[in-house]
């Protein structure tokens, strides 16, 4: 009986200590401090190159592939793109579903300071859906890329064949990864 009373006393003391400290106190939860927001990247710090897309027919979809280099000190975050030739566009990543290559929408793509990010076939791209007209090899599409902070960059995208596969020039290739055995 004495052991039971001492256990209750200890429990009461612990409860009062926690309730006095605010850990179990009723009311509003403590506010989480937000990390300070970084200013958006500047247009002059964002360099876009290697833009191309595959040819497609009216009503189909195509993908834009490119390389973005951020020469600034803050991340450049690509939110999407727009082209007059398409009804809408979105950032997508590619994945295999059995024998089929499928696309799924992704959120904004950050490009870290002093880094490059390459949108490649089979990895990630900007999807132009429901084309309003045929686009064929050697056409040039005006496209607007949208970054956070209302940074808009107008670019021209070269259209290649329907089955084209391009790789970055040798100087832009990522370092080779060691094979795991």
**Domains of the chain: which residue ranges?**
43-167
| Residue 177 vs residue 175, higher pLDDT | 175
Per-residue pLDDT band for 43 (boundaries 50, 70, 90) equals confident
Q: What is the pLDDT of residues 135-150, one digit of tens each?
A: 999 899 999 999 988 8
**pLDDT tens figures, 83-108:** 999 999 999 998 888 888 888 898 89
Q: Which pLDDT score, from 0 to 100, does residue 132 have?
A: 96
With b for 16 or more beta-carbon neighbours within 10 A and e for fewer, the 20-54 pattern comes to: eeeeeeeeeeeeeeeeeeeebbeeebbeeebbbbb
Cβ count near 7 (within 10 Å): 10
Average pLDDT over residues 152-170: 77
CA distance 116 to 169: 14
Q: Is the dihedral of CA 125, 126, 132, 138 positive or negative?
A: negative
pTM greater than the 0.75 cutoff? no
Task: Give pLDDT, residue 60.
Answer: 94
| Under 8 Å between Cβ of 137 and 33 | no
HSE (side-chain half, CA atoms, 13 Å) at 94: 16
Selected residue with higher pLDDT from 31 and 24: 31
Check whether 23 has a pLDDT greater than 90: no
Residue 37 has pLDDT above 80, yes or no: no
Separation of alpha carbons 180 and 156, rounded Å: 40
pLDDT bracket for residue 128 (50, 70, 90): very high
Q: Which residue's structure tokens are 């189909």?
A: 60
Topology (CATH level 3) of domain 43-167: Immunoglobulin-like (2.60.40)
Helix H or strand E segment including 65: strand 62-70
Q: Of 180 and 42, which is predicted with more confidence?
A: 42
Question: What average pLDDT does range 76-84 have in this prediction?
Answer: 92
pLDDT confidence bin for 8, thresholds 50/70/90: low
pLDDT of residue 24 exceeding 80, the answer is no
In 3-state terms, what secondary structure has residue 87? strand
Q: Report pLDDT for 83.
A: 94
CB 52 within 8 A of CB 87: no
Which pLDDT does position 4 carry in this prediction?
54
């Amino acid at each position: 009986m004495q052991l039971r009373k001492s256990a209750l006393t200890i429990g009461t003391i612990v409860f009062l200590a926690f309730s006095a400290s605010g850990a179990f106190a009723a009311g509003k939860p403590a506010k989480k401090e937000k990390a300070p927001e970084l200013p958006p990247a500047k247009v002059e710090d964002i360099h876009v190159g290697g833009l191309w897309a595959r040819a497609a027919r009216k009503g189909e979809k195509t993908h834009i592939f490119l390389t973005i280099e951020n020469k600034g000190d803050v991340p450049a975050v690509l939110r999407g793109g727009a082209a007059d030739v398409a009804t809408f566009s979105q950032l997508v990543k590619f994945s295999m579903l059995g024998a089929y290559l499928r696309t799924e929408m992704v959120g904004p793509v950050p490009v870290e300071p002093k880094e490059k990010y390459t949108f490649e076939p089979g990895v990630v791209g900007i999807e132009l859906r429901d084309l309003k007209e045929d686009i064929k090899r050697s056409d040039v599409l005006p496209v607007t890329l949208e970054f956070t902070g209302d940074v808009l960059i107008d670019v021209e995208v070269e259209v290649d064949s329907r089955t084209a596969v391009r790789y970055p020039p040798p100087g832009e290739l990522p370092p080779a990864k060691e094979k795991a055995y």
